[in-house]
Each structure stands twice: as structure tokens, then as C-alpha cells.
Amino acid sequence: MKFMKLLLSLMLISAISFALMFAILGGFSETQYTDTVEIEVQLGDTLWTIAEKYMPEMDVREAVHELKLLNPTIHENYLAADSKITIPLNTNFDTDSMQALN
């Protein structure tokens, strides 16, 4: 019985440590972004539409994956209007997307 409690305690400590490291490091993005910007989520936005709009140079599935890694606390099926989401900022944005940031 003591062995099971010890094992469960170690597993819980490991899981909490992993979750904290993941949150602090912002996920395990394959791409390290030096510049990011926060945008305000609009009513009806999804990770897919945000990826299409702000990351047009990437395959949209890859872009959604990167957005999830940059924003580990967001729920992928529900983005609240007026909440903030971090997106990578790079030189490949199209002009409309850059104007939308201002």
C-alpha cells in the first residue's frame, strides 16, 4: 500500500513538473520565434482563420500547430472574443495582415 502511494506521488510530482516546464517554455515549438505579437481575438475567429490570415506563408495545418504551441493555455475549439493570442511576427506577413495588427 505504501509503495502504491509513493508511486502515485512520484507520478503526480513528475506530471506537475512537466506541466510547469511546458507552460514556462511556451511549448515545444520546432520553430523558435524571436518576435511575437499579441492580437485580439474577434468574434468568430478560429485558430484556422487566424493561421490563414496572419501566417499565409505556412501550410495552415502547420501554422495552427505552431499557434497551439505558442499559446498552450488556449482551448483549440473555443476562442473567446476579446481575448489575446500570441502569433509569430515575421517579414512574410501580407500587407492586409500587417495593417490589421495596427
What are the start-end ranges of the H helices in the chain?
Answer: 2-25, 47-54, 60-70, 95-101
How do residues 64-81 score in pLDDT, each as one tens digit?
999 999 999 988 788 999
CATH topology of domain 31-101: Membrane-bound Lytic Murein Transglycosylase D; Chain A (3.10.350)
Tell me the average pLDDT across 72-100. Answer: 74
Q: What is the mean pLDDT of the chain?
A: 79
pTM: 0.58
What residue spans define the domains of the chain? 1-30, 31-101
In angstroms, the Cα distances linking 56 to 3, 41, 60, 101 are 53, 18, 7, 15
pLDDT at 89 over 90: no
